[in-house]
Amino acid sequence: MKDIMGMMKAASEMKGKMEAMQAELAELVVEGRSGGGMVVVSLTGKGDMKGVKIDTSMFKEDDVEVLEDLIIAAHADAKTKSEAAMQERMKEVTAGLPIPPGMNLPF
């Protein structure tokens, strides 16, 4: 019975830490860059796009397709960084808890 109470306490603590982590991730802003920094996309830790910065040298008619590709690449870079930050924070929150491998949190 003591183990169950300990598990319940650990689960309650983890819930509080996860809520704090989610609030922190909502405030986190990561930047993805492409084209040597000519295109920059900003995302929150939850993946919401906050901004796009484009170097003015990219505003040429014949470079539209290149610009579109660079925006997509910068977004992908920012998303990768955002996901890495989330995974790192999850490791901190779940440290020491016996969570089965492959179980993704938050649910």
Residue with the bigger pLDDT between 81 and 96: it is: 81
| pLDDT score at 89 | 79
| pLDDT score at 17 | 80
44 part of a folded domain: yes
**C-alpha to C-alpha distance for 20 and 28, rounded to whole angstroms:** 12
The pLDDT-based confidence of 104 (bands split at 50, 70, 90) is low
77 part of a folded domain: yes
Farthest CA pair distance, the chain: 71
Threshold 0.85, pTM exceeds: no
39 part of a folded domain: yes
25 part of a folded domain: yes
Query: Using CB atoms within 10 A of its CB, is residue 84 exposed (0-12), middle (13-18) or buried (19+)?
Result: exposed
| pLDDT score at 33 | 92
104 part of a folded domain: no
Q: Pairing mode, if any, of strands 39-44 and 29-34?
A: antiparallel
102 part of a folded domain: no
Q: What is the pLDDT of residues 8-44, one digit of tens each?
A: 787 788 788 878 877 887 788 889 999 899 889 888 8
18 part of a folded domain: yes
Mean pLDDT of all residues in 73-88 = 86
| Count of domains for the chain | 1
23 part of a folded domain: yes
Domain with residue 43: its CATH number is 3.30.1310.10
The boundaries of the domain holding residue 48 are 2-94
